[in-house]
Amino acid sequence: MIVVENLVKTYPGAGRAGEVTALRGVSLQIPDGEIYGIVGPSGSGKSTLLRCLNLLEKPTSGRILLGEDDLSTLSGAQLRAARRRIGTVFQQFNLLHSRTVLRNVEFPLEVAGVGKQQRRTRALELLDLVGLSGKEETFPSQLSGGQQQRVGIARALAAEPEVLLCDEATSALDPDTTDQVLDLVAEVNRRLGVTVVVITHELGVLRRICTSAARLDAGRVVETGRIVDLVADPDSALGHALVPVGTDPSAGSSADTALVTAIGEAAHGPWLADMIRTLDADVAVVGGRVEQVGSVTVGRMRLRFVEGTDRAHVERFVAERPYLSLAWGRETELEGLTE
Ligand SMILES: Nc1ncnc2c1ncn2[C@@H]1O[C@H](COP(=O)(O)OP(=O)(O)OP(=O)(O)O)[C@@H](O)[C@H]1O
């Protein structure tokens, strides 16, 4: 379990500029084995949080606990040892171009003083795991972006970390390669049991692999939860972003408009026909989307009811069905997230 407790990070201002407080009391709990997404608009503090988590930056105050150990107080040899418990995968891969693929993966083990035979064996195992057997003696410039990121993942795993941090790890890749690299991250999480923390602005990353997420805004956590709970929560802005239904093209009043979300198998069922029959309601469908979020199907529809519809009646229909939830009015739009 990673526990972040009331983390504050203030940077001294350059020149005449005042101090910048990038994190204003961030608290998170990331259970072992999760794939945890961190999102937020530009400047919200995502990179600062990541640099505190991988111990490149010392927090101004607050604590970061990995298991029993408080990482925020370490220095010297203890800090170097703690850094090996956390592997980082970077957006621009950050490979050493004068070294072969094999020697890139061996690099963190060399720094840690691991013997030649042992580090070679480990690097070969990892290259096999990431699907790059046969490329050991290749140089990074001879690889595609997706292959370079596979090397980045193997290198991050070399020292057998408990946590893998991915810093916009797929932002430089095309959509198909992104999906393949994400599937590899999910496989690593499953096979090695490593906890994954993903900083991203891509909704596709959250939908495809994340099990939980936190949304930062102006240095604070404004929303957090399991992805399946966020999409089922009619008040979750992140849930709305994950399954957006678009704006009403008729531009009619939003007053009698409801967003109804159906989760799981029921999303494919006849709930709308059932609603119309049961309520004897006149309903127009003005938006809709069905998405696969992780392993769960989520259907969301924006329905406009004729004026004078008994809202309590609609709310009761929804409340009687645990797979449905409802919010009146428009969906919330979030900055800083893209498809
Ligand atoms: N080394 C630094 N010195 C001074 N201020 C900094 C430093 N690093 C970040 N900041 C400031 O801290 C705030 C949070 O920045 P941070 O890079 O963590 O945000 P972010 O959410 O990662 O943004 P982006 O998505 O654009 O990368 C910003 O106001 C930024 O200008």
Of 46, 50, 40, which Cα lies nearest the Cα of 241? Answer: 40
Residue showing tokens 């991915």? 166
Q: How far is Cα 70 from Cα 76, in angstroms, rounded to an integer?
A: 14
Determine whether the shortest distance from the Cβ of 45 to ligand 1 is under 6 A: yes
Domains 2-230 and 244-328 belong to one CATH topology: no
277, two tokens: 């029959």
Confidence of residue 240 (pLDDT cuts 50, 70, 90): confident
105, 155 Cβ separation under 8 angstroms: yes
Determine the Cα angle at 257 with ends 255 and 261, to 5°. 140
Q: In the chain, what percentage of residues exceed pLDDT 90?
A: 65
Per residue in 146-170, pLDDT tens?
A: 999 999 999 999 999 999 999 999 9
Cβ–ligand 1 distance for 149 under 6 Å, the answer no
CATH of domain 244-328: 3.30.70.260
Q: Is 56 exposed, middle or buried, given 0-12, 13-18 or 19+ CB atoms closer than 10 A?
A: exposed
Quick one: which of 1, 86, 26, 337 has its CA closest to 199?
Answer: 337
Q: Where are the domains of the chain?
A: 2-230, 244-328
209, 198 Cβ separation under 8 angstroms: yes
Q: What is the ipTM of this complex?
A: 0.97
pLDDT band at 255; cut points 50, 70, 90: low
Who contacts 51 (Cβ-Cβ below 8 Å, separation ≥6)?
57
Q: If you average pLDDT over residues 209-230, what whole number do you get?
A: 95
Place of tokens 């939908």: 207
Q: Is the pLDDT of residue 262 over 60?
A: yes
Mutation pick for ligand 1 pocket among 8, 44, 60, 205 (CB with most ligand atoms within 8 Å): 44
> 211 pLDDT exceeds 60?
yes
- What pLDDT band is residue 73 in, cutting at 50, 70 and 90? confident
- CATH level 2 (architecture), domain 2-230: 3-Layer(aba) Sandwich (3.40)
Nearest CA, atom 8, ligand 1: 48
Summarised one tens digit per residue, pLDDT across range 99-120 is 999 999 999 999 989 999 999 9
**DSSP string of 4-45, one letter each residue:** EEEEEEEEPPSTT---EEEEEEEEEEE-TT-EEEEE-STTSS
Residue 188: which residues within 8 A CB-CB, separation 6 or more? 129, 153, 157, 164, 194, 196
Counting atoms of ligand 1 from 1, which one is nearest the CA of 40?
A: 21
Please state, as a whole number, how many other Cβ atoms lie within 10 Å of the Cβ of residue 6.
Answer: 13
The answer to whether residues 220 and 26 touch, using CB atoms and an 8 Å cutoff, is yes
Provide the pairing of β-strand 283-293 with 220-226: unpaired
Query: Do 238 and 223 meet the contact criterion of CB atoms below 8 Å apart?
Result: yes
> Environment class of residue 12 by beta-carbon count within 10 Å: exposed (0-12), middle (13-18) or buried (19+)?
exposed
Ligand 1 close to Cβ of residue 11 (< 6 A): yes
Q: What angle do CA 216, 219, 220 make, to 5 degrees?
A: 60
